[in-house]
Amino acid sequence: MAVASLKTITMIQRTKTFVLPTSTLSGLLDPIYNEQTPTETSDRMLLAYPLPVQRLMAMMRIVASADQTPEYFDRIFARGYDGERYGDLWGLMYDREGGHFFDLGAGELIANGTVKVRIKVEPVAYTPTGIELSDGSQVDADVVVFATGYNSSIKDAAISIFGSDIGHSLQEFWQCDEEGEVRGAWKYIGHPGIWYTGHSYAHSRYYSRFVAMHIKADVDGKTIETYTDILPV
């Protein structure tokens, strides 16, 4: 919308969101993924640590980066954006699967006033000239775009492919179990010959070896025992 030079742009923000500026993202990933380091090595550097350790390492770097760039957050928050400068990125990606804002340029549009922000309200109805909000106010608009999320359930996709009986026998995919490990990914998930893989390119590259091992064992008529016990808290 900004590139198309629309006269006014208003974003209705439903909930507080963790903000991750480009500088923080670069600080996290550039030491790992760069022209000097082979991609295979980079994947191992990123993913070889247990998830709880990855999570704490990321949080430490995020806090340090945010403390170095307070003016970035001050500018967009001053324009009304309801955000958090410190956040648990790994928790949001692995457990919530959302709730974070990778700022690839929109933050500056908010900071300089190109994009106006309304918070603590939601659209409730269309009007002849735009939309009505939950506080009774109205926003004139020629175009209304809903960016309200999506259904990311791979299990639902599996049900549509394999049918209800097989699909419902499969584990859920993603989010973490009681031990901090990803559910249902790259291992036996409840039915022979079916495995889940996904998420980022790095995850798919690094963890695909384990799916390959399961497939090879299956072809050879062997069994790979998958650890499923959960230790008492």
| Per-residue pLDDT, 233 | 39
Report whether 51 contacts 182 (CB < 8 A): yes
Section 132-148 average pLDDT: 94
**All structural domains of the chain with their residue ranges:** 9-140, 154-220
Section 154-172 average pLDDT: 94
CA distances from 24 to 11, 93, 183, 198 (A): 24, 16, 28, 25
Report whether 115 contacts 11 (CB < 8 A): yes
Identify the bridge partners of residue 176 per DSSP, sorted by sequence position. 182
Tokens of 70: 């307070």
Identify the bridge partners of residue 155 per DSSP, sorted by sequence position. none
Section 142-166 average pLDDT: 90
Assign 63 to helix, strand or coil. helix
d(CA 9, CA 110): 10
Identify the bridge partners of residue 182 per DSSP, sorted by sequence position. 176
The phi and psi torsions of 159 (rounded to 5 degrees) equal -60, -40
| Per-residue pLDDT, 178 | 82
| Per-residue pLDDT, 229 | 62
The enclosing H or E element of 168 equals helix 164-169
Angle, alpha carbons 182-186-191 (nearest 5°) = 105
Mean model confidence pLDDT for the chain: 91
Section 101-128 average pLDDT: 95
Q: Classify strands 130-133 and 123-127 as parallel, antiparallel or unpaired.
A: antiparallel
- % of the chain with per-residue pLDDT over 70: 97
Is a pLDDT exceeding 80 seen at residue 118? yes
d(CA 25, CA 29): 6
Question: 226 or 170: whose pLDDT is higher?
Answer: 170
Report whether 47 contacts 32 (CB < 8 A): no
In tens, the pLDDT along 189-233 reads 999 999 999 889 999 999 999 999 999 999 999 888 776 665 443
Section 149-175 average pLDDT: 90
| Per-residue pLDDT, 152 | 74
Q: 88: which DSSP letter?
A: -
| 73 Cβ contact list (under 8 Å, min separation 6) | 19, 66, 83, 85
| Per-residue pLDDT, 221 | 92
Q: Can you give the pTM of this predicted structure? A: 0.82
Question: 99 or 108: whose pLDDT is higher?
Answer: 108
| Per-residue pLDDT, 180 | 82
d(CA 212, CA 191): 16
| Per-residue pLDDT, 151 | 72
| Per-residue pLDDT, 49 | 92
In tens, the pLDDT along 26-84 reads 999 999 999 999 999 999 999 999 999 999 999 999 999 999 999 999 999 999 999 99
| Per-residue pLDDT, 232 | 46
d(CA 116, CA 106): 11
